[in-house]
Amino acid sequence: MAEPGSQARLRALLRATQAVIEPSDLELVLRTIVDAAVELVDAQYGAMGVISPERDALEQFIYVGMSTEDAAAIGHLPEGHGLLGALIADARPIRLADMAGDPRAAGFPHHHPPMQSFLGVPVRVHGVVFGNLYLTNGRSGAFSDEDEQLVTALATTAGFAIENARLLADSTRRGEWMRTAAEVSAAILSTPTNTALDLLVTRVREVAAAEQLTVVVPSPDDRRLRVIAASGEAEASLLGAVIDPEGAFAERMLDAGPAYAQPRLTARGVEPLLVTRDGMTGPAMAVPLRSGAASWGTLCIARAPDDRRFSPAELEGAIDLAARVGIALDLARAGEDAQRALLADDRRRIARDLHDHVIQQLFGAGMGLQALAGRFGPGPDGEALGEAIDQLDDAIAQIRTVIFALSHRDDTSVRHRLLDVVGEVSSGARRPPAIRFNGPVDLIVRDELATDVVAVARELLSNAIRHAHADHVSLDVGVAGETVTVTVQDDGGGIPDHARRSGLDNLRERAVRRGGAFAVESSSSGTTGRWSAPTAASTETWETA
């Protein structure tokens, strides 16, 4: 018949076992195991150390009995040296009456509370050591053989509870990744492809519980990586950055190999794609975004050094998400290509109708008016007819500009860039500006000169439309000889004497720097701004300006 003390301890073991198998969350299971073990053997301190898959260090450390303030004063958590490392190397129970007298003890860091007695027991899951259960400072003195047997029995039960919690956690994470993959893929189908990757890193950051996400592509000119999307505290500095792949993590992305994950590591130089603190880089995984032969880049997901490593279930979820996203991006791009093709067909049809019908009708009307003006001869009626003919010629010129824009779309040409500027600055205007091009503008005005011409047109049109309150505004851009000229006219109220002229001063500076000129004529009946520059400015003029 068992003694009353033994019965009490058996009941305590049953209570501890019941407490361990009830929770389902892995983090809660681990903490419950430590709480139960501390109560079972009446210890002052207890901890659970989770061993890394490489079985060379502690990946996670959960403690009981020590306050958060005391733990913060000690600094970083144990890494698996001394007695803790001995239990990792040889997974058999260790029981000591005094830790300081054992040659395997490595001592304690500053601010660590004193500890004497020690009991360490491995926790196995299907025969593989998952972690170790540590207990110190038995309140009755040294731990007994019975304490070791009770904690070993608890550790056996804890192994099954840990396995169930891990399976549930993996299943939950897979479900979260699948749900996010479906949501992101659906959102990408209705998002322009030039912003889809920004949407991706923003949405995935939450499900990945990550501190930083980036999408990188290899630079076409050299072996470097360019960040095309980023989310996290450093996204402003990362977006658009070009990275030299000095670290092993970034270097593997140049070859766009298979997805992989890495644990927390000692920092080996600057790794912008990883989160680095106190000489350690956090866990990370890299997943290529592919669909067939097409590649959209590599998704890099990084956690802080003190966060848990990525599990195989999370890597599988990220791979599945990347595959779905790659397909969604291909479909979205195909939809945009089809839409552009339809739009191009509509533009060509409209341009053809304008050319074949509208211009011909206007041209015929102009010819008729010219014949009529010849009958009237000099006089008020003849002058009125002449003005009407000039307006028809101006309308024909503007329609031809529209025809060019509709049928010859080239985003690099200065004509189209200027047309886009006109559409942008005149969106709220009562009447869009009239646009005229003279001479081989697209052929001559290119590169930096085109950038200056577009900037000048934007500034002058903005002043005329937003500040002069004009009814009629016109933009004339022409190339004659070796000079390009930008002229903007309006019939507004002129430039007030107290108005700021910093924008006009900038235009004058642009002209002087290119060896050109800028002049403004303004009165109560309107304003004319005229900017000109040589089309082939000398290198000396550019460098000395």
pLDDT tens figures, 335-379: 877 776 766 666 666 666 666 666 677 766 777 777 676 667 677
Q: Mean pLDDT, the chain, as a whole number? A: 80
Encode pLDDT of 226-262 as tens digits: 899 999 888 888 888 888 776 667 777 766 678 888 8
| Residue that wins the pLDDT comparison between 87 and 186 | 186
Judging by DSSP bridges, how do beta strands 242-243 and 225-232 pair with one another? antiparallel
- Which residues are within 8 A (CB) of 466 and not within 5 positions of it... i.e. 6 or more apart? 425
pLDDT tier, 302 (very low <50, low <70, confident <90, very high otherwise): very high
- Residue 2 scores a pLDDT above 50: no
Give SS3 for 57: coil
pLDDT for res 240: 86
- Which residues are within 8 A (CB) of 142 and not within 5 positions of it... i.e. 6 or more apart? 95, 96, 97, 98, 117
Question: String of b and e for 364-386 (b: at least 16 CB within 10 Å)?
Answer: eebeeeeeebeeeeeeeeeeebe
- Which residues are within 8 A (CB) of 336 and not within 5 positions of it... i.e. 6 or more apart? 192, 193
Q: What is the mean pLDDT of residues 270-294?
A: 86
Give the C-alpha separation, 197 to 208, whole Å: 16
Structure tokens, 343: 């739009």
The answer to pTM > 0.85 is no
DSSP class of residue 275 equals -
